[in-house]
Structure 1
C-alpha cells in the first residue's frame, strides 16, 4: 500500500514540533510492515536538500513565507502545482491537517481526485474566533472534515472541538493516540540531578515556569543542573533574562534546537523531564521521555496527565513553578525515581507503542481503500 503523509514543515531545528515526529514515526512503522510510506512537506534551513528523512523517502519543497502569520503564512508554489500529481500516486493520503497553505491544499487535491483521505489534526484545528481561522473554516476546513474518509483525534476534548468546527458530530471520527518507537532504557542514574525541558520555546509551553522552579530545587539539591532545549518561538529572550535575573547562569544549559538523536541523548542523561505547558494535546516529547524511562512532570491539562498520574509514571500538577518544583523534588528521591521510571517504561510499551498505534491505523486504511 502506498501512503503519502503530508505535514506542514520539516526543518533541522524541528520547528514544527510533534506533528512531524508523528508523521515520521507512522511512516517508519508502515515501512517496517512492508508498505510504501513517504513524506510530503515544506522544507527550511537545510544546507543540503534531503531526499529522505530518517530513512523515509521525502519530497520537500523550499518554504516561502507569503504572509507574516507564522506557519500559516508559509507555502510553496511548486508544491501547490504538484499536489494533484502527488496524491494521485498514493493509495491513501494521510494529511496532518492544520489551518495553513500546505496541508489544506494537499487535502483538497486528494478530495478532488477521489483518493482515500485520512485527516489527523493533532489539536491544531479547534474552534477559533480569529478572522483567518473563520475564513479558512468556511472555505476549506469544514468541507474537508465532512468529506474525509476518516478523521483521527487524540482526546475527547479534541473530538468535541472538531465537532464544534463542523457544527455536527463527525461520523467518521476515530481515536488514534500518538505512539513512540521502543527505546533503549536510560542507564543507571549517576552524578548531580539533571532536569530537562525539551520543547519549543513558546508562551503556551511556559518555559519560564521551568526556570522559576529551579531555585526551590536548588535549595535542596544545590548541585542540580537544568537544560532548556528547543527552537525559539518567542520565549528564548525571556528564558535567558529570567535565568540571569535569578543568578543561575552556571546552573543552566540552553543549547537551542536539538536533533532527534540529540534529544534522546539528553533524555538518557536526565533524572526528570518537565513540560509545564497548558492545554497540551498529546506531546511527543513526553512520550519519548516515558519510552526511555524518564519520569515526566506535566500539568493537569496535558492530554497524557491522567495516564501518567494513574500509573505513577510521573506527576501531574497545577500550572506554575510551585507545583513543578514540588514534583521534581519528589521524583529526585532515588526510590521514587526508580519506581516512576519502571512505570514510565511500562506505560510507553503497553499503551503508546508503535505496534499498538499501527494495529489501530491499518484497519482504518483498509476500510477506506477504493
Structure 2
C-alpha cells in the first residue's frame, strides 16, 4: 500500500499528535507499506490559510493509494481536497478539534467554519478516542471511521511497566513528587496546576517537562511560581531525552495535566506505565483512560481548588497513593500497544483503499 501523510513541519518525536503520527508511520513501514511524508510550512494560523495553493501542488504530485492528513493541517487543506483525484481517498487523522480550544468567541467561530469545511471534504477518519469521534459527529458524518487509541509503550526499554515492589517502595519515599509533561502553551493549563498546588499545605515538588512553544506563556509560569512563593518547589526541566524523561517518571508519584481540552492524552498513558496515577482534565477524552478515584482523577480544569483537594490527601496518605499507583500500572497493561494501534489503523486503510478501487473499477472481476 502506498500511503502519503500530510503534517506541519517535520515528523519528529514531539509529544501529542506528532508522537501518534510518528508511531503510525513506523508501524505502516514495518508492515511493508511505502509511506511518503508531506511536510507543509509550520506557521501561525492565518498564514496557514494562505498555503492552500502550495498544498494543491504538493498533493497533486503524489503517487499514493490513500492520503492521510493530520487534522491539525486543516487550514491549509480546505481547498486542495476538492481538487484531488476522486480515486484516491483522503483520510483525516483527528487528535482534537482546534475550534474546541479556549479562544475568543469570534476566533473560535471563524476556526469552526474553516474546520467544518475541511472535515466535510474528508472521505474517512481515524480518531484517537470515542470522545473525538463525537466532536466530529457534531460537525459532519464521522463514518467511515476507526477509533485507535494512542499507546504508551515507547518506554518499555527503560523499565516500564514497573513492578509491584518498586511501586510500593516509591510510594512512601520523600515528598509527593508531581510531574507534568506537555508543550508549554495555554491549552495545557499548567498555570491552573501551579495555582492548585500553591494551596496544598503538604510536602510536594513539581517537575514541569516540555518545550516552551509559547515563550510568553512559559515566562508567565515562572513568574506565577514566584508570585505564589512556590518557585523553590517547581523545576522547569524543558524538553528531555527519552532516557531522562523515563528516569523522571520513574521517580515521580503523580502525573498531573489538567488541560482545558485533550483528545485523549498520550503522556498520561506513558506515565501510568510507571505506576503514576493520572490527574487529568474532565474536558475531553481522558475519561476513556482514567477511572476517577481508581487509577487517577478527573478534575474541572477551570477550578484549581479541585486539584488542591486531590493532591493534599495524597501528601499524607501514602497507602492510598500506593493503591492508586498499582491500579494505574494495571490500566496501562490493559491498554493497546503502538503495534496494535498501527495494525488497527492499517486494517482500516486497506479496507478504504479496496472500496475506492472497487468503486473506480465496478466491472473488474
TM-score (norm 2): 0.77
**Structure 1 position 311, deviation (Å):** 8.2
Query: Relative to structure 1, is the Cα distance of residues 94 and 11 closer, same or farther in structure 2, using a 3 angstrom cutoff?
Result: closer
Per the alignment, residue 231 of structure 1 pairs with 211
Q: 1:213-253 CA distances to partner (integer Å, 9 max, x unpaired)?
A: 22344x221xx321122233242122111111122222111
Query: Relative to structure 1, is the Cα distance of residues 208 and 6 closer, same or farther in structure 2, using a 3 angstrom cutoff?
Result: same
**Structure 1 position 78, deviation (Å):** 6.8
Q: Does residue 327 of structure 1 match 2:325?
A: no
**Structure 1 position 164, deviation (Å):** 3.2
Per the alignment, residue 360 of structure 2 pairs with none
Per the alignment, residue 181 of structure 1 pairs with 153
Query: Relative to structure 1, is the Cα distance of residues 288 and 243 closer, same or farther in structure 2, using a 3 angstrom cutoff?
Result: same
Per the alignment, residue 272 of structure 2 pairs with 290
User: 2:9, 2:39 within 8 Å by CA — same for their partners in 1?
Assistant: yes
Which of 140, 144, 148 in structure 1 is aligned with 2:121? 144
Q: 1:309-334 CA distances to partner (integer Å, 9 max, x unpaired)?
A: 26822122233322222323444543
User: 1:120, 1:153 within 8 Å by CA — same for their partners in 2?
Assistant: yes
Where 1:120 maps in the other structure, the secondary structure is: strand
Per the alignment, residue 69 of structure 1 pairs with 45
Query: Relative to structure 1, is the Cα distance of residues 129 and 360 closer, same or farther in structure 2, using a 3 angstrom cutoff?
Result: farther
Q: What is the alpha-carbon distance in structure 2 between the residues aligned to residue 74 and residue 269 of structure 1?
A: 46
Query: Relative to structure 1, is the Cα distance of residues 345 and 121 closer, same or farther in structure 2, using a 3 angstrom cutoff?
Result: same
Q: What is the alpha-carbon distance in structure 2 between the residues aligned to residue 277 and residue 341 of structure 1?
A: 21
Per the alignment, residue 238 of structure 2 pairs with 256
Q: What is the alpha-carbon distance in structure 1 between the residues aligned to residue 280 and residue 73 of structure 2?
A: 27
User: 1:176, 1:361 within 8 Å by CA — same for their partners in 2?
Assistant: yes
Per the alignment, residue 119 of structure 1 pairs with 92
**Structure 1 position 132, deviation (Å):** 4.2
Per the alignment, residue 178 of structure 2 pairs with 195
TM-score (norm 1): 0.76
User: 1:71, 1:100 within 8 Å by CA — same for their partners in 2?
Assistant: no
Q: What is the alpha-carbon distance in structure 2 between the residues aligned to residue 306 and residue 135 of structure 1?
A: 28
Give the unaligned 5+ runs of structure 2: 358-365
Q: 1:258-300 CA distances to partner (integer Å, 9 max, x unpaired)?
A: 4455433322232111001123221111122123322110122
Q: 1:190-231 CA distances to partner (integer Å, 9 max, x unpaired)?
A: 5443211111222232111211222344x221xx32112223
Higher relative contact order (CA 8 A, sep 6+): 2
Q: What is the alpha-carbon distance in structure 1 between the residues aligned to residue 78 and residue 245 of structure 2?
A: 30
**Structure 1 position 364, deviation (Å):** 0.7
Where 2:290 maps in the other structure, the secondary structure is: helix
Query: How many matched pairs?
Result: 334
Where 2:6 maps in the other structure, the secondary structure is: strand
Per the alignment, residue 363 of structure 2 pairs with none
Q: 1:6-52 CA distances to partner (integer Å, 9 max, x unpaired)?
A: 222348793xx41111101212233344434453334xxxxxxxxxx
Q: What is the alpha-carbon distance in structure 2 between the residues aligned to residue 154 and residue 13 of structure 1?
A: 18
Which of 159, 164, 187 in structure 2 is aligned with 1:204? 187
Moved >6 Å (runs of 4+): 76-79
Query: Relative to structure 1, is the Cα distance of residues 344 and 171 closer, same or farther in structure 2, using a 3 angstrom cutoff?
Result: same
Q: What is the alpha-carbon distance in structure 2 between the residues aligned to residue 12 and residue 248 of structure 1?
A: 34
Where 1:118 maps in the other structure, the secondary structure is: strand
User: 1:13, 1:257 within 8 Å by CA — same for their partners in 2?
Assistant: no
Per the alignment, residue 171 of structure 1 pairs with 143
User: 2:3, 2:33 within 8 Å by CA — same for their partners in 1?
Assistant: yes
